[in-house]
Structure 1
Amino acid sequence: MGIELHDYQTTIKSRVSLEGFGVHSGKPVSVSFHPADPDTGIVFVHSDQNGATREIRALVSEIGATDLCTALGDPAGHHVGTVEHVMAALFGLGIDNVAVEVEGDEMPILDGSAAGFVDAIDQAGIETLDVKRRYIRVLKPVRIDSGASFAEFLPHDGTRFEVEIDFESPAIGRQSFDADIDAGTFRRDIARARTFGFMKDVERLWAAGHALGSSLENSVVIGDDSRVINMEGLRFANEFVRHKLLDAMGDLALAGARFIGCYRSYRGGHRLNAAALRHLLSDRSAFEVVETSRRERGRSAELVAVSAAVYAPWVL
């Protein structure tokens, strides 16, 4: 597939809010999305229980934890957990700039997928701004290994994900899903894939005070008999690997700019995704920052390298 480029940055047209509860805390969460100026990026505005606020930029340098989800900020202070689903929605729909006000310590889990965030963005609408969008283009292979798992970035004419998982459970087994990402592909094939887990692990997490908001309404749960116990079953035959790809999209959206290249992973997760992204951005010979050179619609796109400011998000 040829590369799909969008010349200009975007934001949302109007404020939109939604409510839910955190999958780990089980507590209510209120979220409001606001339009933002060009070059703002994605910024979470966190309000704690005392009403104090702090801005947390959606960047890999702000990751505070990757154990059960991707969390930004200080785990002992201002932080926002489970950001991967909303970040995947923003990445998938091509939203560059937005302020996300959060009253709570994690994003709402909704139905366990990114579909609710997609609906909110659709309600707000998307606005094209008059400032060029910059991309991070992968120039050479960059790989990281962790035991039997690996993740790598490869040069590619587009934004592509190739994700493979391998579980002992016969309910999952070995699954792979590959896709060149655009808004249509994301909406159709990825956004509705839900998070999943095993009943034996959920019970253990509950006992430890985690996953207090997890239920069959927001998770695909595999029982002790290795069967999916949700009454409605799966949304896709390979919903498990599609959700892993969704998670990877959300984690890599923390680059601070969209990337042009292919991301491949085997038995990956939040920690490996973050490590691979840091590995790429730490090697300035592995990527360049580019934007399109066309100024008029209808002309063919051409990528040109641009100078990155010292405060650019890809400078770690």
Structure 2
Amino acid sequence: MQEKLNLSKALLSFLKERAGEKFTARQIAEWVFATYPDECQAKKASSKFITDDAGLVQQLVAEISSQRPALQRRYPELKTTEGRPRKYYYSEKSDSAEVAAAEAGQAEAPAADAAAGKLGEHALYPMLSQYLWEEFRVFSKRIDEKKSSNKRGPNGNRWLYPDVVGMEDLGAEWHQEVRDCVNQYSDKRTRLWSFEAKLLINRSNARECFFQAVSNSSWANFGYLVAAEIEGQDTLKELRMLFAAHGIGLIKLDTENPVDSQVLIPARERDEIDWDMANRLATENKDFLGFVKLVKQFYQTGEARAADWDLPTAAV
């Protein structure tokens, strides 16, 4: 008698042997199909609805997804990322240990990490800039907190600066006469954006990361938390609850193809710029002051020079 396919056992075995590596449900299903051919064919033969191998793989994908919540309750080492597509992986590290491992050494040696093929937080910034330009036509600029004064002591400027800022030209498609009119009679020609980027957000650091974004984005029209990885089934739920109170959005950054990044939670727009806070940032940080000068230049000339901003090479 043909042994019945034990999908949950196969799933756990596959991930445990490849601890730390992340796979989609389809990748796992295709491995199951290739590794257990007899059991899979028996499963297809016993079904009234599965008529071909493609249908069988799709059924395996659906079953992996449906079994996930129960499996994660039984096996806390089975973890998943959030966003599309969800990825599965096996790890015995705590959530806080995973964050520490992801961030270890990034501030001190981003160049060394890049040489070793390890993705560092600094590598996220040009990816984010590419996505912002391609998706929203936002002109972005990196803010380096190391260029800040330290007049207020070691923690005086903690959580003050975003990683990336942006300017959106609301009149890019307007007739020249309309742009000139708005420049004369209104200040609503731009929207200013603020972004806090993280390598990894999970349940252990979700609130800290969110409130860091709240703190350093309070001056802008739009504030976003950006993450290369979002892990844990409750992480998005927590961030959505916090959004309801504070309006900070969430972007899942696709590091393999930045233009496929996703806005998982759209930010709530603030009608007015907090110029007092913008003044604080400009006074303390040369990069932010440079950003303000570029916005001022845009209002004076009506044009934004691509070469002044952190845009993809093709846009310059």
Between structures 1 and 2, the one with greater helix share = 2
Between structures 1 and 2, the one with greater strand share = 1
> Under a length normalisation based on structure 2, what TM-score does the superposition of the two structures give?
0.25
Higher relative contact order (CA 8 A, sep 6+): 1
